[in-house]
Structure 1
């Protein structure tokens, strides 16, 4: 349903989105209200933190929670559901031994870090792969912001084990948002190495292989934290926000990500352009300081590179310091905007500005990726909030960046998760399909899978889960995956 904003603030009862989920279930058929399109077949798999305690110790950052997978399978208008924890070394250490394992994102003063587990693998790398997932060579992997890859069975959600790619590129951090190059049929990502000379190592993985190949090495004096990156047909664009990483601290096993970060607002943001054809950084652009977790899209137009980003001017103390005992993002207070930065590699100018593309800011932005990533596009789906409501992402938004307007789905007491667009088979327009979102219903103490029409943005149906699903991060829809 679409509705107007409410006038009074709403409470977030008991911070349900940051409450541990202990149940693991398999349900053949969820109760459905409304209508799920019969053409919608396949499986949505989502990933995110679901356990926020180690013994009696409460974890201090949302990103530190233990990873759980959630699977929604669609067939003939019905929805089945399953959920299961990823059982890597982090899970075994924290659940069975009561020890934190590997580098945490947020600052946890509980220093029960050292034990037999660290003798088995580098203590700087965590296999709590709670951020995103993808399919490579018809195998399924979950990952976080470090170069460790946990494989799982997409039908049972059982953890298969850790994979090390052939020719795996070394590094201390990576991005949980790889791109797929549909022209070259390769997955593209990068790692940041800090043990010797700091550098971003851009690599690709050819389709149907498990081998990483180096595309380019971009050496830098000071590496920066980047959660995602931009890609066009011919370029990879690494946008360095001035959240600078202290290299000496980062390689110490007991230092969290945040203890190694420094927000330097007097330093410019830098756009490092890597030419895929030449395998090197060919241009660097600078702008005023800003921060973003997520890119929206990037397109080459008339020799320019247009980079669209869900940007904020208030990153460090607020967005990066998000504790799992507080409410979520106040996108207006943080200055969230969907911005377009125009890079002109042939123009010679290195200083760039930006333009705002819509009248609302979003987080967790998604587009019709298969049809429009690296190509001109019009619509962005994401999470927003009601300015007169609580400081939380409690609206699902559709932005029209051509008209600069937005549509919204809203229901009081409900908190949607990242929207995933699924095109209708034979779709003739960019928004012909549905948007899927897992919604936390704080009123009922449970969650439901919401299906919204991608064009009209009206609710079509919902499938209710018998328990709450904690605030998760990202998911992918696989049309050919059936359970």
Structure 2
């Protein structure tokens, strides 16, 4: 370690992401495809320790045993033949390779992807625990990777039902329960690609992208996940607000877009405001193919920061307030609860860069931006950890995994979240493969 850690920084940085793309007999095609590995960086009174484990899922075990992908992945076809798929006609196999997000339900931790499964794990040992056996008939085939845990430990998420009648279904799962409570639903012909959603104290905000599902493709073919979606700009996109009180739905039409993440949502007077990171088309999906990433070619896609002000009678105004930011963070006490005034994220600072190369703080009111770079290193999602007892929204640190050519292992920067000054640099004993999302277990 270089520098000095804050004395109050005690807990675990948990990381999730793919770590194995190439098997002896075949390889995956996309960054999103790889087999999941969990990582734990433990901070304790100035000392740091590290461990990692592959998530021991059915997909992992069968893929390792067969030396080739055993399930369909984001951009890798199902290896089963047509006759094999007929054995489970209408109910296709779903991967449990939960390589995207980690969420807490009560005091239990689960890893998720965009499938409907919640894969358990121990946040200290990283040992895989059983997938949660749900005992309801909610009937969802897909689910947003990003669930939201409220102050009571209940887990909220949006599932997607595919078939002749499709729907987004907002549900809640209380700690210790096995039955999801249906809170409200949005019925629609073809749901859009859904990676996340946002909440205010009164509403869940679901963005219906113009990259729309082809339900029969999911149910009948062996196509990869993303190839069961089709770009449909003619019908634009929609924003839906589902009331957490009575399940009622209000919707707004917006120009066609694709989006993974929201910065936040909040309510202000008679407006519901959604701050969303959007792409004008689905080119970002192809930009993250492994062949392209490994070539070192420029990423070539820049997201925009859009603020949607949603009013009664379908009225919506849009404000473009920046570009380049992804994988956003706000103070955890503000997310889904109150308006945040500061956000952080990873940034594509140089248009010719093959990947994100900076970490940025943005004042959401004034637009002021402050950046930190570690040379030409790739910089992944910054996790904000607030200082215990702090009053200011940006009083804390950012933990930023980085990797540069020549590094023996990944280096985790500890930044002052207000000034963006680097306080310390922790050197991991191995390369932590590029992943997506982090969590803090205090």
In the alignment, is residue 176 of structure 1 matched against residue 145 of structure 2? yes
Among 137, 140, 158, which residue is 1:190 paired with? 158
TM-score normalised by length of structure 2: 0.93
Partner of 1:285: 252
The answer on whether the counterparts of 1:100 and 1:112 sit within 8 Å (CA) in structure 2 is: no
Unaligned runs of 5+ in 1: 1-31
SS of residue in 2 equivalent to 1:106: coil
Cα offset for 1:279? Answer: 1.6
1:375-454 correspondence runs (5 A): 375-387=338-350, 389-454=352-417
Cα offset for 1:365? Answer: 0.7
The answer on whether the counterparts of 2:212 and 2:230 sit within 8 Å (CA) in structure 1 is: yes
The answer on whether the counterparts of 1:137 and 1:210 sit within 8 Å (CA) in structure 2 is: no
Partner of 2:332: 369
Cα offset for 1:330? Answer: 6.0
1:33-432 correspondence runs (5 A): 33-108=2-77, 123-167=92-136, 169-182=138-151, 186-252=154-220, 254-281=222-249, 283-314=250-281, 316-320=282-286, 322-327=288-293, 333-345=300-312, 348=313, 350-358=314-322, 360-387=323-350, 389-432=352-395
The answer on whether the counterparts of 1:124 and 1:253 sit within 8 Å (CA) in structure 2 is: no
**Aligned equivalents of 1:85, 1:112: Cα separation in 2:** 28
The answer on whether the counterparts of 2:324 and 2:349 sit within 8 Å (CA) in structure 1 is: no
Cα offset for 1:373? Answer: 3.5
Unaligned runs of 5+ in 2: none
**Aligned equivalents of 1:109, 1:324: Cα separation in 2:** 18
Choose 241-250 or 368-377, whichever is displaced more: 368-377
| Residue-by-residue CA offset, 1:126-159 (whole Å, 9 max, x unaligned) | 1001001111131111110001121112221111
Cα offset for 1:443? Answer: 2.4
The verdict on how the C-alpha distance between 1:114 and 1:52 changes in structure 2, with shifts beyond 3 A counting, is farther
The verdict on how the C-alpha distance between 1:109 and 1:236 changes in structure 2, with shifts beyond 3 A counting, is closer
Count residues in correspondence: 438
TM-score normalised by length of structure 1: 0.85
**Aligned equivalents of 2:306, 2:348: Cα separation in 1:** 18
Cα offset for 1:274? Answer: 0.8
The verdict on how the C-alpha distance between 1:272 and 1:45 changes in structure 2, with shifts beyond 3 A counting, is same
More relative contact order, 1 or 2 (CA 8 Å, 6+ apart): 1
**Aligned equivalents of 1:179, 1:366: Cα separation in 2:** 14
Partner of 1:25: none
The verdict on how the C-alpha distance between 1:214 and 1:277 changes in structure 2, with shifts beyond 3 A counting, is same
Q: Provide the aligned C-alpha RMSD in A.
A: 2.3
